Amino acid sequence: MALNRKLRFEVFKRDSFTCQYCGRSAPEVLLEADHIKPVAKGGKDTILNLITACKDCNGGKSAVPLTDQTVLAKQKRQLAELQERKEQLEMMFEWQKSLMNLDDQAVDLAAKLFEELVSGQTVNDHGRKSLAKLIKKFGLAEVMEAMRTMASQYDLSTQEKIGIAFSKIGGICRLKSADPATREMFYIRGILRNRISYVNEGMVMFLLREAIDAGADIQKLKQLATEVRSWTQWRETLEDFIANQDNDEH
């Protein structure tokens, strides 16, 4: 009776798709699963009674007979290897579990800090997932430092504002890794956002970059942000500056 495909595959895989008699391997040769103890003598269709052999060796043309002692030694090696693989898999599983525990502990620490900084608040599951992503990207220390910055710079007087502040933690982390000019631009945008009722935040960054490229002084841009009374006033001032610089160049 022919061996089923699954059993043959397990035998070939165990033997690395290599003939155990001559050492040749697929696809150089056609492989077969050979019974160590023939079926006619009571051998079973079990993985320990099967061995990978090429067609020539299995046909007896160039086979080197395996002694009982050789078969026993091979089986012992296979069992030892299987046990070692099992132990290594268990160790890898424990290692992964420990890493997951470390990740959870990091999120716990970040959530605890947020709850200390924002009295009466708790971090829900969605918030914990957000913190986990930020910690993975920036590290626990950076996230916790960004939280302290958030608590000192944002209005936390209402639930809605607390939610907005929490959403800025990632931006604060990114800002710290930005180049100096970009950090200054974000700082100026923050001044405007805190002083006037409406700010087109995307356009702020575009106009600031245009102004800086046109030669605007960063300190004067900061001063302007503390003096203007509306978004329109600030926008028109920067647009006039950029236009005048373009005219001077032409």
Asked if 147 and 138 count as a contact pair (C-beta separation under 8 A), the reply is no
Contacts of 15 (CB under 8 A, 6+ apart): 51, 52
CATH numbers and ranges of domains, the chain: 5-66 (1.10.30.50), 89-176 (no CATH), 178-250 (no CATH)
Q: What pLDDT does residue 67 have?
A: 56
- The angle subtended at Cα 110 by Cα 107 and Cα 113, nearest 5°, is 150
pLDDT reading at 189 higher than 60: yes
Q: Note the pLDDT tens digit of each residue in 39-71.
A: 888 888 898 889 999 888 888 744 444 555 666
Looking at residues 165-191, what average pLDDT do you find?
Answer: 87
Q: Note the pLDDT tens digit of each residue in 126-168.
A: 999 999 999 999 999 999 999 998 998 888 889 999 999 999 9
Neighbours of 52 (CB within 10 A): 24
Contacts of 12 (CB under 8 A, 6+ apart): 26, 31, 33, 52
Environment class of 172 (CB within 10 Å of its CB; exposed 0-12, middle 13-18, buried 19+): buried
Whether the bond between 27 and the residue before it is cis, its omega within 30 degrees of 0, is: yes
Higher pLDDT, 197 or 76: 197
pLDDT reading at 230 higher than 90: yes
